[in-house]
Amino acid sequence: MNKTMRVVLMGVLAVSMAACATKKKDAPPPPPEPVRETPVTPAAPDDGKYSAEDLNSDSCLRQRVVYFDFDQADIRSDAAAILACHGKYLSDLSGAKMTLEGHADERGSREYNMGLGERRGNAVSSALQANGGSSAQITVNSYGEERPTCAESDETCWGKNRRVEIVYTQAQ
């Protein structure tokens, strides 16, 4: 599989997972934006800045999951675009806030994985700050291996569970 293909697939996966996560979510904070039909072509903001509406419509901002390699917290190159657009969003909307939920796969001990999830959250936080976000906009919360998205013991599933989920708590 070539790299472009992989990036595209990861993107599709990320979008579908983000969509799932939003749907399932029933606890506060409520989604800040009312659901509505968006134009087929997301209009680029006139001043080059994001607006709160873009969270639900922009194809990059809709990707809310960053994936990691085993026992690693290094940001992979396939996450660069996501981190750039969310960093820019934080920079454009200074009132926006997010929680970075760090996760690990099931291998290894639970409390160590709690630390690993936090390390991944911190890595995403740093990358977002390098892209214009500020530390005051970001909270890191590690769930370790306690909140897997899939339960099979194989690399495909582990790869999905080693992640940081971007959860906006305030859109603007």
Partner 1 sequence: MPKTMISSVRACCVMLLLLLGSTSLLAQGLVVPPVSGSPTARPITIVPFGYEGAGLPLETDIAAVVTGDLNRSGQFNALGRDNIIEYPVRASDLRFDTWRMLKQDYIVIGRVLDSNEGAVRIEFELYDVGTRKRLFGLALPARRADLRAASHQIADYVYEKITGIRGAFWTRMAYVTSTGLGKNTQYALMVADSDGYNPQVVVRSGEPLLSPAWSPDSKKLAYVSFERGSSSIYLQELTTGSRQILASYRGINGAPAFSPDGTRIALTLSQTGNPEIYIMDLATRRTTQITKHYSIDTEAIWTPDGQNLIFTSDRAGKPQLYQVSAAGGEPTRLSSKGEYNARATISGDGKKIAMAQGAGNVYRIAVLDRSRGGADYTMLSPGNLDESPSFAPNGSMVLYAAREGQRGVLYAVSADGRVRQRLVLADGDVREPAWSPFRQR
Residues in contact with partner 1 by the rule CB under 8 A: 21, 24-25, 71, 106-112, 114-116, 118-119, 122, 140-144, 146-153
Q: What are the tokens at 167?
A: 């959860």
- Between β-strands 138-144 and 97-103, what pairing exists: parallel, antiparallel or unpaired? parallel
State which residue, 80 or 155, has the beta carbon closest to partner 1.
155
Shortest distance (Å) from residue 109 CB to partner 1: 4
Shortest distance (Å) from residue 24 CB to partner 1: 5
State which residue, 85 or 121, has the beta carbon closest to partner 1.
121
Shortest distance (Å) from residue 155 CB to partner 1: 8
Shortest distance (Å) from residue 58 CB to partner 1: 24
State which residue, 123 or 171, has the beta carbon closest to partner 1.
123
State which residue, 49 or 147, has the beta carbon closest to partner 1.
147
